[in-house]
Amino acid sequence: MVRNVSVVVGNGGMGRAISRRIGSGRTLLIADRDPDSLEPVAERMREDGFDVTSTGVDVTSPESIAALAETARGLGQVTQLVHTAGVSPAQGGIEQILAVDILGPALVLDEFVEVVAPGAAAVVISSNAGHMVSEPLTPEDQLLLRTTPAQDLLGMSLISPDRFTDRAVAYMFAKRVARLRVQGAAKAWARRGSRVNSISPGVVATPMGRAERSSGNTFVERLIALSPAGRAATAEEIADAVVFLLGPAAAFITGADLLVDGGAIAAIDSGQLPTHS
């Protein structure tokens, strides 16, 4: 019997929660840049009854992503893909943020569209930071960012590290581009009978979220305290949103972005919250 395969790229707090949420009754392929830390997670999941394969991946390497896609195809019928890998301002410099958060999802979407089964669905985890970009992008710039071949993205003047004053600004821009890449990929995925969407979480109670909160960035704390929800999300709440977008209830949703941020962007856009300075 051909097995349905779910692929989760990134083994942070959200990646682990999503893996457990979607992995029952199917083959699960989890991938991360640090295979040594990944295998103990996979082993615990096997003990809990999951059918798990783990592998290392470099999301900035076309060859590594191609190898991951081939591994997934070899396991069965790829019906679900979730890309969670990312670098936040507290975790890396500008060049790393641009490479991992822009090139990573672009490569994954371009490669996996060739191996997914008809009816498959994909979700890219972006961030509500991508909704905070203050510098407007022209329609022409947006089109270029949606459609430029993935391997050429980092050579674009729009993505030059010199354009960004700090890591937070680079991160906001990168997450905006991730959403644009999802929009640009929707037609190609549709030709495979499949869908692709993104989710833009706010601050989540994961190691990445805790790193941002402890980095001295007071904006993050204000964003949480003054947002309508008044708290950070749990990784499980993001996983619930992923399940919705992967499932049949979202069959008419593709090329879209779902904000799961406790109303933070709504409050900013309504003038009820300060924007990032």
First to last CA, the chain: 55
**Alpha-carbon gap, residue 266 to 264, rounded angstroms:** 5
What's the whole-number mean pLDDT along residues 252-271? 96
Which residue of the set 131, 146, 167, 175 is catalytic? 175
In three-state secondary structure terms, 262 is: coil
**Alpha-carbon gap, residue 186 to 224, rounded angstroms:** 32
175 is catalytic: yes
Q: Which CATH class is domain 4-270?
A: alpha beta
Q: Residue 272 pLDDT more than 70?
A: yes
Of 1-5, 159-163, 211-215, 270-274, give the range with the top mean pLDDT. 159-163
pLDDT confidence tier of residue 257, bands split at 50, 70 and 90: very high
What's the whole-number mean pLDDT along residues 197-218? 83
187 is catalytic: no
Query: Does the reported pTM lie above 0.85?
Result: yes
Which residue of the set 112, 171, 173, 189 is catalytic? 171
What's the whole-number mean pLDDT along residues 66-83? 98
What's the whole-number mean pLDDT along residues 7-16? 96
